Structure 1
Amino acid sequence: MVLRCKSLIATFITLTVSGCNIIPGSHFEGIESSTDAEQYQHELDKVNIQLIDSALIASERTKEPGKKNASVSKTLDVSTYEYRLGVGDVLTIGVWDHPELTIPAAVQRTAEFDGFRVQADGTISYAYAPNIKAEGKTVNEVRAELVKRLSRVIENPQVDVKVVGFKSQRTYVTGEVEKPGVFPITEVPTTLIDAINQAGGLTEKADWTSVTFSRGEKTEVISLNDFYERGDVSKNRLLQHGDIVHIARNDQQNVFVLGDVKKSGTVTINRYGLSLAQALSESGGLNENTANASGVFVLRKRDFEKEGVMADVYQLDAKSITALVLADKFKLQPSDIVYVTSAPVARWNRVISLLLPSVTAVERVDNLGN
């Protein structure tokens, strides 16, 4: 994270010290030669420049994940879930009206201590019913076998079987949760969201868009935004023995606010997103005496090799009252660069060409981090 920030700031410092005839707000008054004009025009051909207005906001909203399909799954079907016993699980067994077959409760002992543990060979042994296969069976299946065996010596036995120690199966929750650890799989279905809640919930530094779910050799990255915002449980998972849930840090969920603001630096995108207005506010706002309110720009990296465009550049004219509403509606994305200039907008074409290397710098640092 520190490397990303330093590299980006170093790029802008280089631009600043390279001469007062380059940076916005300096003594540069225009393009001095046709060669310069061709060079800057060539750079501008690599970017897509758009004005932040109501039409753009409406267009961006249609691109947001989940907006295209309003129909989402609201329930996770766990009706067929059955807990199957494993080696190490502990059972209590009672036979109605036959106290001699039921272990009495003791003050100094627990039900787990006195219970019947599934042995390494997968069996349990009970009076008149030795070596009952329990591993891989449900509680009801074990009860049915006990009834069958005990019926040889007891008329119509009423048998009660419960699991008092879930020891055979577990799942793991790691990363940015309050209490990472190992959690048992029980007779109550446990989902990915349940496991996160059992771990105390996500921390402030958790990345809501990057939850890694691993089962065996298969790993997938799940975003929880749709689940928490719209109740879309298609992002949820019913956990099994050995599943691993890892919540990453939000180090990659940052935007960079630079230029003529009171406090330049990085601003983190939280689970609720980050608007341009919020990013400017957290940076102390524009410098009233020197900043050009018409020159609030957002640079967003694109894949030049695939799309032929190096970056999207969005301009906000903050002199307008409606601009405050637009800025609040304009959602930023990770690695966006917000830049406020003190130069007249008429000179901004040249500034764009000078800032393009910073987009490449962010991409280069991203690759180093990966």
Structure 2
Amino acid sequence: MIRALNAPCQRHPTPTGGKTLRLISMICCAALALAGCSTVYRSSDVIPGAGGGTQVRVVPLTGETVTQANRAAYAPQSLPEAYARTAGTGAGVSVRGAGRLPEAPSTQEGLRNQRLALKRPPAVPEMSYQIGVGDVVMLATPTTRNTLEELTGLLAAQNSRNGYTVQDDGSVNIPDVGRVRIAGLTIEDAEELLFQKLVEAQFDPTFSLEIAEFNSRRVSVGGAVGKPGVLPITLTPLYLSEALAAAGSVSVADIDVSSVRIYRGGELYQIPLTDFYASPDLQNTRLISGDAVFVDTDFNLNRAERFFEQQIRLKQTTLAARAQELSELNTAISLRRSDHAEQRSTFEAREDLGANDRDYVYLTGEVDKQTRYPLPYERQASLADALYDAGGGIARETGDVSQVYVLRASSDPREFGAVTAWHLNASSAANLTLATKFQLRPDDVIFVAENPVTKWGRTLRQITPSLITTPVAAAVN
């Protein structure tokens, strides 16, 4: 009796518990069968052939089929011109503020029976050349080395041709000596002044002064000459015959109605060509700085005067026009830049609000994010761009990398409902290079199928909760 009481208690399955286990086993078998025939869980798939009103043709992606797919005509949308133009492009501004330029004097046919009047300029006294602003002077040192070689910069070294321009205040600046005003002085007076300055600065004053370039005193020659231009006055006097010869000589058809006119100090002088060629004294008329010589075939003295007025007005209006043109150019560029910025801002705002008509590609199936990918402006987009730029890459846990499709409907109205499914098998990583070459077209659908394990798991999750909880609840009761 005691043994019976102390013996271990053995449990035997009750009839109800055995039925529950058998029921669960049957449920699992049913789930597998239902999952295989997709009775409970249904998902999208690419089915070749005809069905549901759509004719599907599956084409595997190869180098040849990618070339064939890319032949579909498509022109990417363009950005507005405001993104391509710059403010300076085409922003040239004409000279509007200069006003009407003075007209050149026209030639008139003179009367042969009316002799041109001779009005020669007054004689110019002989005087030495005076250094002026713009002239280039040179200080030449002795051949032996001495303390003067300590001067660098403005003092020229031995055999050097470096010149030094007389500045607008009429002076040259010598290091360790200072500014020395030499404008208006002759060469002799300038040498004496520089000698004193060098002695005061305790430098060896042995030097010679030369003028390398003559720029301060000039004479302009124009009209009926071979080469109109400006001639400098140097240490030697400049005579009228020499000036005309340097300008290419006189070129007139009839000397009887032609003359040489000289504008000097507000006065206009006239030498008829017949008198000029007949008189050596007139040919040796000495010119001075500021003279304007004009050879005219018109006997009217007033017409030559208008020529010189024109030159003065032309220079004045040109200078004024440059300033106004620069101002107008800056204003035009600023307006263009503001206009371009406003156009770009408006376009970007419309883009954010979805008001612009864009071309899209759609990503669906087992992708990280089901979305639409806008095709870029002004370039082609590839399948790889859409998969990786849009954040809709293949889902690593649920997507079947061997079943990636690009679905493209036929553009031929006679083939309405026909779809070509370009199939990419990405289970081989080398095939991903085809994705970088496959060009997308508007309304393409990129579809990634689910792998078989994912499909079975989703089916099981849908049917097992209700089938398991009902028998268990009955067994407990």
> Structure 2 length as normaliser, TM-score?
0.33
Larger radius of gyration: 2
- For normalisation by structure 1, the TM-score amounts to 0.42
The structure richer in helix per residue is 2
